[in-house]
Amino acid sequence: MGKLSVKYLGLDLKSPIIVSSSRLTSTAGYLKEAADSGAGAVVLKSLFEEQINQYVHNIKSTHSYPEADDYAAYYTKSHSVDEYLTLIKKAKDILDIPVIPSINCYSSEGWTDFALNIQEAGADALEINVFLLPSDRKKTAAEYEKIYLDLIEKLKRKITIPLAIKIGYRFTNILNIIDHFYMRKVEGVVMFNRFYEPDIDIKNLEVVPASVFSHENERRLVLRWIAMASAQDIKIDISASTGVHSGADAIRYLLAGASSVQVCSVLYEKGMSFLSKINEQIEAWMEQKGFSSVDDFRGKLNYRNYKQAVVFERTQFMKYFASED
C-alpha cells in the first residue's frame, strides 16, 4: 500500500478519494477510468427503492405489470435492476479497487431482501442514501429517526458486507443518531448527502430545481460535524461528501477526521483524470508537512485533538462583529 492508503469500512483503499454515486459511476467504462485515474473506491450510481419494489413485484407476479409512476417506469426500462447486478459483477472483474453499490430509499418496506442480491453479486460494501423529508407536522423527530434505525436493523439481518449510511445534516442531534448507528453495528456514515432543493423563478413564476452541483463554500456545512463526530468514543468510519473541488478540500476533511472523501461535481467540470491531480496535491502537501501516511494527520484538527476545540461549538458571530469598527 502506498503513501495515500487508508482503511474505510474495513476495506483497503489506495487513496482516500472515492468517486461518489452519480452518472459518472453508471457504466463499466466510467468505473475503469476512475480506477485508472487513482480513485480509492467507487460508489455505483444509485438504485431507487421504487425500482427495487417494482422489480420484486414483477418477478413474483403472474399477471400484467401494475401501473408505476412515470419515473420508475422509465428508469426500470432504461436501467433495470438486473443490469445493476451485472454492473456490480463486471466492475469486480475489471477493477482492483472496492466497489460499493448505492440504494436511495425512504423506508424499510419491501425492498431490503434485495440487499442480499447485491452482496451475492460481489459488492464490497453497501451505501444507503436515505432521502427522507420530515413533512408531517404530526410526527416527532424520534419517529422519523426510527425509520433509519428500523432500516438498519433489517439490513443487518440480511447482509454481512459493511454498511454505510449517507445522511443529511438536518437532524436535531447528529451526534446522537450516529451513536445509534454505531450501536447497531453500522460500519460507516457519509456526511452529507445533497437533497434535491427547489428554487423560485421570479420571471416565469415557477418552482425550479436549484443547482445539483456542489460548491467549495459548502464545506462549512460539513467540517464542523465531521470534526465533532470523529472525536466521539466510537469506531465508525466517516466519509466526507460535498464541496470537494481540490486536494486542499480533501485535506481539510481528513484533518477534521474523515476516513475517506467523496468527489463528484468537480469531475463533471474537469473530467475523471482530475482524480490524479487531487491525489498529487494531497501527496505534495504531505511531503511539505513531513507526513508519511494519511493516518499521521487524520483527525489532527478534530474536536478532541485541537487545543481550541470551542471553535467547533461556536454558533454566533457576535465576538467577531463586536470588534469591528
pLDDT in tens, the chain (325 residues): 689 999 999 999 999 999 999 999 999 999 999 999 999 999 999 999 988 887 766 655 444 444 444 444 444 444 579 999 999 999 999 999 999 999 999 998 889 999 999 999 999 999 999 878 888 999 999 999 999 999 999 999 999 999 999 999 889 999 999 999 999 999 999 999 876 678 888 999 998 876 666 566 677 779 999 999 999 999 999 999 999 999 999 999 999 999 999 999 999 999 999 999 999 999 999 999 999 999 999 999 999 998 786 777 765 555 555 555 5
What CA–CA distance (Å, rounded) separates 228 from 311?
11
CATH class of 6-321: alpha beta
The ranges assigned to domains in the chain are: 6-321
What CA–CA distance (Å, rounded) separates 229 from 173?
11
Asked if residue 48 has a cis previous peptide bond (ω within 30° of 0), the answer is no
Instruction: Return the percent helix, strand and coil in the chain, to nearest 5.
Output: 40, 15, 40
